[in-house]
């Protein structure tokens, strides 16, 4: 809203028309095309009559303009302050953006101005140089469609090397982590923070080298939609592949696909809903919940 309300479609359409007029290249056809491309379909009914009838005194009857220079879009102080605030975000360094010119600008807000609750404290280290390099290479591979060779330490502490073809990156606000979604091997999900090394793979075929088999698991649970439980569950499990169906009054069944490495974290999340979530299958996941509850009861956790 900070940007669109100031330089909205009307402004952009008129700016394009006046730029053509300054160049001496404006006529009836190019005026209509500028409005059609930059504004709404019905905008020509407002913009063109206002300019041609000189109610907006920016255009002469011969399609020339009294302006000497093309319209520009300088930033307001509010926009600069918003950009300054964004530039201070730890994650912004991942994208190699240029924020020069904002050195003396006061940020619109800082991290001290808001608190994110219900968030894990072991998020990714976004300022680590190796993490930044890995992120930028992965992002480039997604944009240009080439495979990568990565090395990670699995849950058993074993170094695993694999070739992947990344399709997208996703960010979890709750976990404060980035994950890679791959196209190959049944759409695997890999935590970016676990990657030890990452390089471009020049082979002709993307394949897994040492990845454990049967790493993807299915979880089925029922959600009783009381106290906004369903909406909270969809938020908690937003980054998982899942299907949800209504099975009764205020009762929903969720089928969720997860990575074996995320199993402990998933148990904790399920337990945080108390009686509002009931796990249906698999049996081994139910046993993990029972075991954790027993340890909590005995004060081991």
Which helix (H) or strand (E) segment is 223 a member of? strand 216-224
Same fold, 129-200 and 216-297: no
Q: Give the tens place of pLDDT for each residue, 132-155.
A: 999 999 999 999 989 999 999 877
Q: Taking the domain 129-200, which CATH number applies?
A: 2.30.30
> If you compute the radius of gyration of the chain from its CA atoms, what whole number of angstroms results?
27
Check if the beta carbon of residue 51 is closer than 8 Å to that of residue 63: no
Q: What is the pTM of this model?
A: 0.58
Q: Give the tens place of pLDDT for each residue, 211-232.
A: 444 567 889 999 999 888 888 8
What is the fold of 216-297? Alpha-Beta Plaits (3.30.70)
Check if the beta carbon of residue 199 is closer than 8 Å to that of residue 248: no
Name the token pair of 25: 């290249």
Closest to 164 measured CA to CA, from 141, 143, 136, 134: 141
Check if the beta carbon of residue 110 is closer than 8 Å to that of residue 85: yes
Give the residue ranges of DSSP H helices in the chain: 9-23, 28-38, 44-52, 77-87, 129-144, 229-236, 263-271, 283-297
Domains of the chain by residue range: 1-72, 77-113, 129-200, 216-297
Q: Rounded to an integer, what distance in angstroms lies between the CA atom of residue 221 and that of residue 163?
A: 33
Q: Looking at the DSSP assignment, which residues form a beta bridge with residue 258?
A: 217
pLDDT tens per residue across all 301 residues of the chain:
566 667 788 888 999 999 999 999 999 999 999 898 888 767 778 888 999 898 999 999 999 999 999 998 888 899 999 999 999 999 998 998 999 999 999 999 998 888 877 777 888 999 999 999 999 999 999 999 899 999 998 777 788 888 888 989 999 888 899 999 887 655 678 889 999 999 999 865 444 444 444 567 889 999 999 888 888 888 888 777 788 888 888 899 999 988 777 788 889 889 989 999 999 999 999 999 998 888 877 765 5
Q: What pLDDT does 114 receive?
A: 82
Check if the beta carbon of residue 138 is closer than 8 Å to that of residue 94: no
What 9-12 contacts at long range (C-beta under 8 Å, 24+ apart), as own/partner pairs, is: 9/38, 9/39, 9/40, 9/43, 10/39, 10/43, 10/46, 10/47, 11/73, 12/38, 12/39
Residue 125: cis peptide before it, omega within 30 degrees of 0: no
């Amino acid at each position: 809203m900070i940007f669109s309300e100031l330089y909205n479609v009307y402004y952009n359409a008129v700016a394009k028309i006046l730029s053509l007029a300054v160049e001496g290249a404006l006529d009836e056809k190019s005026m209509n095309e500028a409005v059609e491309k930059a504004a709404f379909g019905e905008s020509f009914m407002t913009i063109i009559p206002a300019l041609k009838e000189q109610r907006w005194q920016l255009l002469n009857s011969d399609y020339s303009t009294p302006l000497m220079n093309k319209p520009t879009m300088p930033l307001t102080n509010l926009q600069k302050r918003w950009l300054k605030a964004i530039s201070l975000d730890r994650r912004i360094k991942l994208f190699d953006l240029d924020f020069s010119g904002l050195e003396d600008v006061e940020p619109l807000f800082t991290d001290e101005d808001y608190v994110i609750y219900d968030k894990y404290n072991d998020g990714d280290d976004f300022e680590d140089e190796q993490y930044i390099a890995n992120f930028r290479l992965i992002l480039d591979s997604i944009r240009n469609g080439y495979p990568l060779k990565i090395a990670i330490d699995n849950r058993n502490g074993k170094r695993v090397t694999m070739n992947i073809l990344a399709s997208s990156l996703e960010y979890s606000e709750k976990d404060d982590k980035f994950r890679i979604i791959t196209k190959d091997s049944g759409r695997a999900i890999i935590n970016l923070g676990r990657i030890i090394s990452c390089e471009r793979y020049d082979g002709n075929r993307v394949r897994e080298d040492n990845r454990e088999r049967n790493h993807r698991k299915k979880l089925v649970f029922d959600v009783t939609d009381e106290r906004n439980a369903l909406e909270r569950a969809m938020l908690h499990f937003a980054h998982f592949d899942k299907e949800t169906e209504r099975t009764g009054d205020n009762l929903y069944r969720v089928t969720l696909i997860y990575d074996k490495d995320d199993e402990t974290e998933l148990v904790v999340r399920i337990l945080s809903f108390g009686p509002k979530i009931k796990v249906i299958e698999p049996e081994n996941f139910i046993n993990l919940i029972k075991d954790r509850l027993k340890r909590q009861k005995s004060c081991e956790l």
